[in-house]
Each structure stands twice: as C-alpha cells, then as structure tokens.
Amino acid sequence: MTLTKQDTDAVRAIQGLEDGRSSVRLRAAMAVGTSPDPRFIDKLIERCAIEPDFQVREMLTWALTRHPASITLPELLHEVRSERAQARSQALHTLSKIGDRQAWPAITRALLSDADDEVARSAWRAAVVLVPEGEQAELAGVLSTQLGRGERETQLSLSRSLIALGKVITPTLRAAMTDPDPRVRAHAIATERLSRDPDAGFEFAIEEAKRVVALGGAGQEE
C-alpha cells in the first residue's frame, strides 16, 4: 500500500507531537493547525492531557480550534470529565477559545469549584465566555462561592471572571462583603474596587481591602 503525501505528513506530525523536544512538538502542533485534518483530533486532545510545556499546550489548543467544532466539541466535552486535572483544565481552556455555547451545560458547579486551582480557573474563564444571555447573575452567584480561595493568582483570575460578567455582580459582591470569613470579605471588596478602577491593580486593591476588613468596614461606597 502506497502512502500519499498527506498520509506521510500526518504520520510525521503525530510522531512530532510525541518528540522529547518541546520545540519539535511546538512545530508539529503548528503544522497540524495549519493543515487541519480530523484524524489529528484524538491525538491533539490526548497530548493536551500530558503536555508539560505551556507554549506547546497553547499551540495544541490553537490547532484544535482550527478543526470543525462539530467534531471537536464531543471529544472535549468528554475530556472535561477526565480524572486527570490537566485534561480537564486544557479541555475547558479550549472550549473557551472555541466559544460555542452548546458547551455551556458541561460547565458544572463541580468544575467551577474543582479542587484543582488550574481546573477551576479554566472553568471560570470558560463559563464567562459560554454563559447564555440572562444567566449571568446566576453564574455570578456560583462564582462568588469561590471568593477568598487560593493565592493571589487564583483570586485575581476569579475577580477578572466576575468583572467580565458586568453590573450583575454588584448585589453578589455586596452580600459577600458581609461574609463571616475575612478572606471572602477582602476578596469581594478588592474585586469591587478593581471593577471601578481597573488601573489600580489587584495587588493594591487586595491590600486596601485587607485594611478595610481589619478596621471592621465593608468597603461599600454610598
């Protein structure tokens, strides 16, 4: 059986995705995205779950977005239920880049509160992109349950996701500003301040919020 040039290129690209050198894997992922072929999808998704290099993972996601959503979505929706955290995180990230709202039902409360910070952050970003019109306030309520979680990077990611939902977050943040947990209160205050003054920076906002909490205030402006 004689292989066509297309078949030969496909074999070379798949081998490249498994190469020990990240530069080779990066070029292979770029080649796959440049010439999309449904035969690559399973391998791309499989590689996303184990790829250690951030730049290569980004290129894998780009390559997946170059294929028809009708083919990639079912595979990605299956992957968000994987036991492997990186598989869930990268599948959610890819869904956010594709932006097809048919994926919305897969963004469950379990994913939005996933124990793995990277998975949760990817779920927050995907949720903001995929949430149907009119359901932003409900999503804000779910996301607010994560206020106070994690270190600065995780908290900033949640703040950005909440702010991206717009004015619907105001009642939710005001309620969180009276939460018994000082970390929740500080995070809510910082998020509200960042929404009003994006140029202030999260570090400044969170330090100011901590001072407000320490003084017993809620940080709300009349």
201 found inside a domain: yes
Residue among 33, 40, 34 nearest 11 (CA): 40
164-210 per-position pLDDT tens digit: 999 999 999 999 999 999 999 999 999 998 888 776 666 656 666 66
- Average pLDDT in the chain: 89
188 found inside a domain: yes
221 found inside a domain: no
Quick check: helix, strand or coil at residue 18?
coil
172 found inside a domain: yes
57 found inside a domain: no
Number of domains within the chain = 1
What's the domain range around 204? 135-214
